A and B are shown apart, each in its own frame.
Chain A
Amino acid sequence: MMNDELQEGSAALKRPLWSKIREQLAPGIMLLPFMLNQYVLFVITAVIVILISFTSMDSALQWNFNGLDNFKRALIDPAIGLIIWNTVLFVCVTMFIKVVWGLTIALSTTYYIRSQRVGRLFRMIWLLPRVSPGVVEALLWIWIFSSGSNGILNLIMHALYGWEPVNWLDRYPLMINIALSGIMGSSMSMIIFSSAIQSIEKSYFYVAKVDGASEWVILRKLMLPFLKWPLTFLLVWQGLSMFTSYESILLLTDGGPMNRSETWALYAFHTAFSTLNFGYGSAISLFILPVVVLAMFISYRVFGFKKMMKSAQSSPQDTERKG
């Protein structure tokens, strides 16, 4: 790494000035849309939202500044307790399911199942949720869990055990949401884990086998270390998106009944776009920011994020080679 920089640096010194400028100009132009997005539009968006959060903007969409009222209000809002609890449950349990189930699929299909073709077939099936649009998914689930005797689950349960129709989405709103986003969302973790396992050099497995390592040891000592970075990535990146996502719940149960499946981001959405309280909604959504910054700080500390930033893609063996 150091070497590269030195060489480039000295090469640049020898060249005339205009070519140096030209050299910097090209990447500058290439970065332009990205920078525009990151530093102009993003900043504008942030400023607008922060400004709105200090107003009592409602259905009239007027800028009436009211100081810290919205933030104070969030602290005494009686709904907040349940919503925080829901959010924590939703993020943690969903992430847990995503990681465990994604890892199970990845390990099974890339390592334990001998036939590559069978493994690939299962991976193909598990990519289906990733490619089906959110509304289609929600539609299917709503019909499955539908409360009447027309719901598929009710039909099955009635045929098998003679159960009376159950209003599933009303009775277990959060649980169903968690289970579905966990299971349907494990596509992404499966992709990431599978490619990480596939990139482990085959010779390692061979050596381990010759040494007589048991399957358990191979899993723990050989494969899991290679999955550390993908896991970090998943936890940080996906975890944060879980925290800010709301579309799947919005489509399935819409946060109800009685806020029992309402999460923080969804509450912000509902406050802003359903009760039309844009000021308060912005304020609520801004409460997410400290959590995000905290999460970044922790991942910096715990996982050595800076090292990973250097090469987002490098697997442990690459880092070793480079180091």
Chain B
Amino acid sequence: MENPIPLQGTGTVGGDLKNQHDNLLNRRRRWLQALPNGVAIAVMTAGSLPLLAIYVWMVLVSFSDSGLIPTKFTLDHWSFLWSELNIDGYVYPSVWIVFLNTLFIAVGTAVFEVAFSLMAGYAISQTKFPGRNFLLQSTILTHAFPAITGLIAAFYILNTTGLLNTLTGIMVLKVLGGIPMSTWIIKGFFDEVPKELTWAAQTDGCGKFKIFYTVFLPKIWPGVTAISLFAFLSGWGEYVMVSVFIFDDSINTLSIIIKSLFNETSSASYGLVMALATFYMLPCVILYFFSQKALSNMKM
């Protein structure tokens, strides 16, 4: 960018005037160029601050010893991490068992969903077989099939297979529901891998698995990370299915416990509720920090 260096003594009076005029123009142009930057930052700040404030508020209340407006710092509300979790007198022996239950659904969903979609995505993208297009299009149909519709049938399916009232049942439902979308995403990443690379690896005498590791995995890694994260989140946050299909009072997930705190009579301690909510969100946030880069590379 041309930096207008003030020319001194060399020009005439008229030249000086012209320079001044140029200066003004330049300044205005620069200002005009900086404008989108400034406006964008202003808009984003105005939009993001309230959102951020809500989450910060949540964390602050969990560490504060009085009501909804954070004041004095205390760790009391977090004591459920090392002693019992007592919600309105209902004592859960340890929050970690509830945590493990939730983790089981989330990790199970992520692992199986990613494994199945990786296999399917690879097959659809890298091999030719009749009905391939139809297969791909049918994913949209299954995706659009209303979840509520499936929910009624799911009761019968779970009941026949004996998976009703188990965490495994919930996990299976989550995996089945997530496969179409994940396959769709991961297939796109496989498509991006240049054929030349595969051929080169083949002529080098690499086996199938080696090709997968050396050629495909680095290319599709962002996709794998993204769908793992999404699958984990959907399993971790599941509420409806757990509330409908698990009726054993002893099987709890974090979503169920937090939902039970919604009603007014039990808003005994805002701090405890917020601490629980923060605790519930924490694994998601940690995972999200690890997968951030991959997310920004994600394309549809």
**Which residues of A are in contact with B by a Cβ distance under 8 Å?**
4-5, 8, 23-24, 26-28, 30-31, 33-35, 37-38, 41-42, 44-46, 48-49, 52, 101, 104-105, 107-109, 112-114, 118, 120, 122-136, 138-140, 142-144, 150, 152, 155, 183, 191-192, 194-196, 198-199, 215, 229-230, 233, 236-237, 240-241, 243-247, 250-251, 265, 268-269, 272-273, 278, 281-282, 285-286, 288-289, 292-293, 295-296, 306, 309, 311-315
Contacts and interface: CB of A to CB of B under 8 A. Distances in A.
B66 to A, nearest CB: 13
A313 B139 CA distance: 15
Interface residues of B, number: 93
B152 A272 contact: yes
Nearest to A287: B146
Contacts of B273: 139
Contacts of B135: 31, 35, 38
B2 to A, nearest CB: 14
Given A139-B258, A244-B148, A134 B120 contact: no
Q: Which of A41, A229, A295, A315 has the most CB of B within 10 A?
A: A41
The 5 closest A-B pairs by CB, nearest first: A313-B188, A133-B237, A34-B120, A112-B40, A30-B119
6 contacts: A27-B122, A101-B47, A113-B37, A143-B68, A195-B299, A268-B149
A31 B143 contact: no
Contact of A48 (B142, B156, B176): B156
Contact of A31 (B119, B138, B184): B119
B179 A125 contact: no
B295 interface: yes
B81 interface: no
Nearest to A5: B128
A151 to B, nearest CB: 9
Q: Which of A31, A52, A240 has the most CB of B within 10 A?
A: A31
Q: Determine the main DSSP class of A at the interface with B.
A: helix
Contacts of A229: 300
Contacts of A113: 37, 40-41, 44
B26 interface: no
Interface in B256-295: 258-259, 261-262, 270, 273, 277, 280-281, 284-285, 287-288, 292, 295
A287 to B, nearest CB: 9
A94 to B, nearest CB: 16
B239 A112 contact: no
